[in-house]
Every structure is written in structure tokens, then in C-alpha cells.
Structure 1
Amino acid sequence: MIKPVILALLLLLLGGCSDSPPPKVVLAINPWPGYEILYLASQKGFLAEEGLNIELAQVATLSDAQRAYLSGRVSGFTSTMIEAVQVEALGGKPVKVVLAADYSNGGDVILAHSNLPDVKSLKGKTVGCEVSSLGIYVLNRALAANGMSLDDVKVINVEQGDGGRMLESGEIVAMVSYPPYSFAILKESHSHLIFTTREIPGEILDTISIDADILATQPDFVPRLRRAWQKALDYFQAQPEEAIAMMAQREGISPDEFQAAINDLYLLNTADQQKMFDDVSKLENMARSVCTTLKHIDAVEGDCSHVIGMFDVSGGR
């Protein structure tokens, strides 16, 4: 017969085993006001409240986030739909898009020398962008909207941190950028806006993607993440001054600049997520359209069939 004290100790040990934290998921995250909601969720304890063990690994750019995943250094990453669509085509492990953070509604921009009034004035000139990710897509769409193509300009790869310097030196006449980098470029160089994603509404969707194998071992990861995301959004709405001050400081911009950047986004809440992931065929069509455009500009290879099944609908049911 087991003594009561020993039995109590056994039950305590068994209980402790059952409450062990889930394996850590390391998520690469680049500067972008919409992604700051994740940091807010982490800093205010909402991720932990939902039983999530997520480490946010800061990287410099969208391309860096994608590269971190491709190299196996992280298990997921923040990005636009463009980078998420690319990873498997570039040889990375299959991912699932688990959360849609926001639509860029003016946040992604093209900045040009002040003597160039519009996109058409870029014809025959050198333009900088991140050629392996969002930048080339935005540039292609801006040119197409003005009856031009990438053949009408000379495109060179420029990292976001070098955009302002290269505009000032004359190495490029325009740069595809986004906050907080675009704010710095506008301050540091004699440039102005000639295009924003407000002209292509609904096309640039910012996402969070996770290694599909991770999700197979943590089936409740997605609903937990979406609940933590909503808690952070609720906190942002309830305590806007404090939240904006925290997020602006991390982005290295002023609270007013952060507010201006957020105004150029449409942050997606739980109801938006539910509606979006319930209509998964629409998401897959969007991904296929993005992939087709990337194929046209030689940014990916293959038939784009990998976008089918790329979206995790478990969190919306």
C-alpha cells in the first residue's frame, strides 16, 4: 500500500510533467509597424498566457527574414505573401501561413529624387529595391500601372539600410521602401513619394508563416497565436498612447511617425482572420496570382502548385 505522502509526491511529479512548456518556436521578424503587434503580445505576456513558447528573433529586412528560414535558423517568419510564396520554390521547407497581420494600404512606397515627378519619369533610370522579395513585386506593379515594365528601368539590388545613402550619392534615382526605413530616407535624402500601395489596394498582405512540420506537432498553435494577437490588438485599442510609445521606440521612430505608419495599414482582427481563412480558395487564388507575377519576373521557378494547401485553416474553426 502506497503511503499518502508518497502518493501526493507522485501526483505532484506527474502533474509537473504534464505542464511542461511546448517546444520553442523561433520566429524571424523584421521592422514593420504591423508586426509590432507580435512584440506587444510578447511584452504584455499574451503569448505566455496562451501557452505559447515563441522567441522573436529580430532581423533587418524582409529578405533577411526569408533567408533566416531558408537557412534553418528559425522555424517561422514574418513577411508579405511574396516571401511566403517564394520559400518552397527556393528550396525551403514547406510553410503554412497561420496569421494575416495586415494589408499594406499605402505603407509600401517608391521614393524618388525631387526632380522626378512620377513613376513614368523613371524610364531609362536606375532604381533600387530588394530584388529577391517584396521590392521587385511593388516596382513591377507600379510600372505596370503606368504602362511600363521592368525592361523600362535598370534595377539593382539595394538593402533597405542603404537606400538613403545611394539616393543621395546618385547611384539610384528611386528606391522601393517601407517604414521605418522610408521615414529615415525621407529625412536623409532629397526625395519624395511617387507611388504607394494605396494604388494597388488589397494586393500586399503581411503574414506570419510557420514550418508545416512544427504545426503537425503543435496542433493548437494557430488558435492560440490568433487569440494572443487579438489580445494585443485589444490592448492597443484600450491603451493607444502607451502601446504606440512602446512600439515606436522599438521601431526607432517617433510616436507620431508610428501613428502615421499604422494609418497606412489595415490591421486584421479575429473576425477578419475568421472570414479570410474560411474562404481559403480566395487566399490560394491570391497566392497563385502573386506566384504567377513572380514567375513572370523570374523571381521564382515552378508551376505554383505548392500554394494549394499553404494556408492553415485550423485556427478559424
Structure 2
Amino acid sequence: MVLRSLGKTSKIALVAGMLMLASCSGQSSVPEKRTEFNIGWSIYAGWMPWPYAQQAGIVKKWADKYGLKINFVQVNDYVESVNQYTAGKFDGVTVTNMDALTIPAAGGKDTSAIIVGDYSNGNDGVLIKGGDTLSAIKGKSVNLVELSVSHYLLARALSTVGMSLTDVKTVNTSDADIVAAFASADSSAAVAWNPQLSVMKGQAGAREVFSSAQIPGEILDLLVVDTATIKANPNLGKALAGIWYETLALMKQQDAKGKEARAAMAKLAGATPESFDSQLSTTYLYSDPKAAVTATASPEIMTNMKRVRDFSFSKGLFKGAASADAVGMSFPGNKTLGDAQRVTLRFDSSFMQYAADGKL
């Protein structure tokens, strides 16, 4: 089953809070040149190219080119993988933009997003029973994983019809329980991500009234690395960019090789090839590095990250912070959002640019 167990509620707030107390201005680690690195990953359609690349020898090919050894390590629990990265057990990790902000960055760990891999283009959605439009959700109880991107998606959806979270009652429901919860006669609305979302759409009376396809580019899936590590070891970034774009080029092929690659990714994810391809159909993969660079440098990414930041702060995910500006973010072109003296999340397009320019 392909899933992204996003933002396990209070655990995020707890970790962010503990780390915020430790450091609001980033970790002061001494850059160190190394040759071996560990990257954590968890199961999600947009992240399966990484373990497949390791299995297929693509990781070794690019690592060898730069005299490195890169290990991709699976962690069964998504939030635990991000927590382990934040604690320094991994040099990098696959993570959403919201969780990169609320866990390592809000905790003071200086983090660089070097691969903007994809955005949810329908993988997340709002469902209701007994209504045909989003406005019908007013006054209803909504099952979702609180303080996750589902919570964010609901807030964004409501804002498009002049409502806010005060117009509904959220019911914290784990991703493991949400399908059964929505099937209950007591549940009339829910927010979920695939594959649960696709199952819930098939339930009697269910109608999707909003999806992440209506807010393209806001729910991003990234590969982030420790900033001090990547500064001291730029060849790691080059190797990772090479791995990513070679693998995506292969999986996008509509021939036997491409089909074989996607089937192998599906197997690694515990999914059928058909289910995996369905997941990919609602995942906008930045397979062209030029497109990824353009997206990362666009004004929209700052607008979107401000929305994500403001929502996260409003829900208490920046523990110990007096304002949303406490966690600084930087973007290509020397642009910043929040406290420019306390930047802990950096969107670094330089390695994607190397790929775009054919200079890896």
C-alpha cells in the first residue's frame, strides 16, 4: 500500500517545541568533508524513485562518479524518519514542505531542500456525504489527521468559499482508521490522502468537493539535506541530482523499460503496478530539472510557503516562537521570508540547475 503518513499531530508539536528551545538560530555544526552518507526515506509514490535507484544500481553509478557511498535507508514510519533526520541520524530525508518547516527548521536544524520532486495534484482531497458542493460542509464534523497537510488542505479549501476552520469541527483520526471512520453513519465529512482517499471516494454517498489539484504547488514533496553537510560536500548534491533525474527519465518512459521500472517501484511500496500508476496520475513529478528550477525560483513558492507557515504557526507548531516570522526561509535570488538572521529552511536550486545545464 502506497501512503504518506503525514504529520502525526502532537508528535510534531512536541519535537518542534523541544528543539526550538534548544536552538532558534540553527545548529552550529562544523562543516566536515566525508565520503559516506545516509538518506532516510518512507513509502510514498513520489519518493519511490530513490529506493528503486538504489536497487537498480543508479545510486552506485552516481556515487562512484563522485567517489562517494550513499545509503538510502527505509523507515517504516514517516514522522519517525523526519525525527531521526532532525536528531542527526540521517544526512537527508524525504519530506513534505510543511513537515520540513515544522519539524527540523522550526527546531533550529538548518536544512536545505535540494530536490523539489513533486507536488500533490489530487493525491489529497476533501470528501462529504449528503452534499454536492464544499459549502455543504458547514457545521459538519470532519475526520482528518490533525496538524497534517490534510488539516492545511481543509483550511485552504474553506478559505475559497468564505469559510474558516471555525465553521467545522475537526475530529482527529489516524490515517490507519480514517477509511473505517468515514464509512460510519456518524461521519459526514473527511479529508484524506491516497490510497485511502481513492477507497473512500467509492463509499456510498461520498463526493469529493475539493482536492489538492485546486491548489497546485502548495503540498510539495522534497529531498532535504543538512545544510552544513551539503556545503562541505557539494558532490553529494550533484550525485543526488544525477540519481533523481536519471531515474525519473527512466520511469517516465512508456516502453517496456519504463513499465518495468514502475512495476519495481510498486513492489518496493507494497502496491500493485495498477495502484502505483494511479498514484502517479495524481502526483505532478518534476521530471524536467528546468521546470523544477523555475518552480523553485517562482514568486508562487514564497506565497505558498507563507500560507503553510502561517497555518503552522496558528496551530502552535512553532513552539516558543512569538510570531510566524521566527523561522526564516530563503529562496533562490537571495529572497527571504521571515527572520533573515535565523534562516533554517533553504530552497537551494543549485543542484537542480546543474542537472538542467547538463553539468553534473
Cα distance in 2 for residues equivalent to 1:37 and 1:189: 35
Change (3 A) 1:193 1:281: closer
Change (3 A) 1:280 1:198: closer
Aligned with residue 183 of structure 2, among 168, 172, 175: 168
Aligned with residue 152 of structure 1, among 161, 164, 167: 167
Pairing 1:208-223 to 2, within 5 Å after superposition: 208-223=223-238
SS in 2 for 1:203: coil
Per the alignment, residue 39 of structure 1 pairs with 51
Per the alignment, residue 347 of structure 2 pairs with 311
Aligned with residue 181 of structure 1, among 196, 199, 213: 196
Per the alignment, residue 78 of structure 1 pairs with 94
SS in 2 for 1:24: strand
SS in 1 for 2:179: helix
Per the alignment, residue 70 of structure 2 pairs with 53
Cα distance in 2 for residues equivalent to 1:257 and 1:192: 21
Aligned with residue 262 of structure 2, among 211, 221, 244: 244
Per the alignment, residue 292 of structure 2 pairs with 273
CA contact 2:217–2:304 (8 Å) conserved in 1: no
Q: Please tell me the root mean square deviation across aligned C-alpha atoms, in Å.
A: 2.8
Larger radius of gyration: 1
Which stretches in structure 1 are left out of the alignment for 5+ residues?
Answer: 1-20
| TM-score between both structures, scaled by the size of structure 2 | 0.72
Change (3 A) 1:311 1:241: same
Deviations along 1:212-265, whole A, 9 cap, x unmatched?
232233221112111111111121133232122222233343323322221222
Cα distance in 2 for residues equivalent to 1:130 and 1:64: 16
- Give 1 or 2: higher helix fraction: 1
Cα distance in 2 for residues equivalent to 1:36 and 1:190: 33
Per the alignment, residue 15 of structure 1 pairs with none
| TM-score between both structures, scaled by the size of structure 1 | 0.81
Cα distance in 2 for residues equivalent to 1:193 and 1:252: 26
SS in 1 for 2:147: coil
Change (3 A) 1:299 1:148: farther
The alignment status of 1:100 with 2:116, answered yes or no, reads yes
Deviations along 1:165-207, whole A, 9 cap, x unmatched?
2222356433322223323444678644222111112222221
Q: CA deviation at 1:164?
A: 0.8
Aligned with residue 139 of structure 1, among 154, 169, 173: 154
Cα distance in 1 for residues equivalent to 2:86 and 2:97: 16
Cα distance in 1 for residues equivalent to 2:207 and 2:303: 34
Cα distance in 2 for residues equivalent to 1:75 and 1:156: 35
Q: CA deviation at 1:64?
A: 4.4
Per the alignment, residue 337 of structure 2 pairs with none
Per the alignment, residue 6 of structure 1 pairs with none
Per the alignment, residue 28 of structure 2 pairs with none
Cα distance in 1 for residues equivalent to 2:143 and 2:83: 20
SS in 2 for 1:161: coil
- Report the identity percentage: 25
Per the alignment, residue 128 of structure 2 pairs with 112
Per the alignment, residue 39 of structure 2 pairs with 26
CA contact 2:139–2:167 (8 Å) conserved in 1: yes
SS in 1 for 2:247: helix
Cα distance in 2 for residues equivalent to 1:60 and 1:286: 26
What is the total number of aligned residue pairs between the two structures?
294
- Of stretches 126-135 and 148-157 in structure 1, the one that deviates more from structure 2 is 126-135
Deviations along 1:99-135, whole A, 9 cap, x unmatched?
011122212112334x343322222222122222212
Per the alignment, residue 235 of structure 1 pairs with 250
Change (3 A) 1:111 1:282: closer
